[in-house]
Amino acid sequence: MAVPSVQTTKKPSWLKVKLPTHENFFYVSHLLKKNNLHTICQSAKCPNVAECWAHRTATFLILGDTCTRDCAFCAVTKAKGEPLPSPQGEPERVAAAVSQMGLGYVVLTSVTRDDLPDGGASSFAATLEIIKNQNTDIKVEVLIPDFNGNEKALETVIAAGPDVVNHNIEVPENIYPRINRPVQNYRRSLSILEKAKALGATTKSGLMIGLGEKKQDLQQTFADLRAVFCDFLTIGQYLQPSRINAPTQKYYTPEEFADLKRIALEFGFTEVESGPLVRSSYRAHLMYEKLKRTC
């Protein structure tokens, strides 16, 4: 894979974020280190980390911090061909952190583990069950990989009772080659969402924009997601995390994001979060609350 060009375009003012100063940020940072835990907030260089940790929220990254795939947009550490160790006691450590942070809504995600027979589904289930056992009122959203299309792995996760099943489509179908993903994986991701819905899950997906897509590409993706009855959608600005990742080709304005939200809602999503700094789990509890109000 060729090294992408370096993004040199100056970021617009609406993408500036404040440095962490709130005491809760440092509390969460200490707690994660103490429990030897990873978050996608850190591993993916999320711009919202200061805001979310200040509110004592974080998206837990399970199954370690090293991914078996090489997507061109992602800052997460990539495996170099060696089998990856399975973190010992991780479900219990995540549950302990959830309890200590006093969370009422938890988001669990993972690196993609193609080296595991079930893609890590059993670890999702174990972590979810321990969290729910310690407090039945806690809501848990799982942001899952595609498990290579393994339906039994998906059933394992859903049997554990997640409140929301999130799987990111990431970009429109024609942009998949630009993020170093086989085009057929787009349909596989739609299939995962469709099967999750058939199994009774509330479903959610996410798009990052700014990689060269056109408006009609986004509209087609909205239509594809609604065709599998996806409930929630997030739309956020792609930001090149390092010089070896795919370059940002366009910065969308807040007004353009508002327009995309309007269009997406017209396709029938229950709720859409659309903005420059929106990410998959950004204010996830608010989207869930919107669903409960409409039921």
pLDDT for 98-125, tens place per residue?
A: 988 888 888 999 999 999 999 999 999 9
Q: Which among 237, 280, 179, 261 has a CA at the least distance from the CA of 12?
A: 237
Assign domain 21-294 to its CATH superfamily: Aldolase class I (3.20.20.70)
Distance CA 209, CA 177 (A): 15
**Cβ atoms of 143 and 107 closer than 8 Å:** yes
CB-based contacts of 289, cutoff 8 Å, min separation 6: none
Distance CA 270, CA 288 (A): 10
Dihedral over alpha carbons 11, 46, 279, 248 (to 10 degrees): 40
pLDDT tens-digit readout, 125-148: 999 999 999 988 999 999 999 999
Distance CA 31, CA 240 (A): 29
Dihedral over alpha carbons 68, 72, 75, 79 (to 10 degrees): 20
Q: Which among 154, 288, 267 has a CA at the least distance from the CA of 221?
A: 267
**Cβ atoms of 63 and 43 closer than 8 Å:** no
Q: Both tokens of residue 206?
A: 């996410």
**pLDDT at res. 90:** 92
CB-based contacts of 278, cutoff 8 Å, min separation 6: 234, 235, 236, 237, 257
At 237 the three-state DSSP class reads: strand
- Domain ranges in the chain? 21-294
pLDDT at 9 over 90: no
**pLDDT at res. 55:** 63
pLDDT tens-digit readout, 11-62: 788 777 666 666 777 777 777 778 778 776 665 566 666 666 666 677 888 9
Mean pLDDT value across residues 226-250:
93
Provide the pLDDT confidence category of residue 269 given band limits of 50, 70 and 90: very high
**pLDDT at res. 287:** 86
**Cβ atoms of 157 and 121 closer than 8 Å:** yes
Beta partners for residue 166, in sequence order: 143, 204
At 266 the three-state DSSP class reads: helix
**Cβ atoms of 280 and 74 closer than 8 Å:** no
Q: Both tokens of residue 245?
A: 């990742």
pLDDT at 6 over 60: no
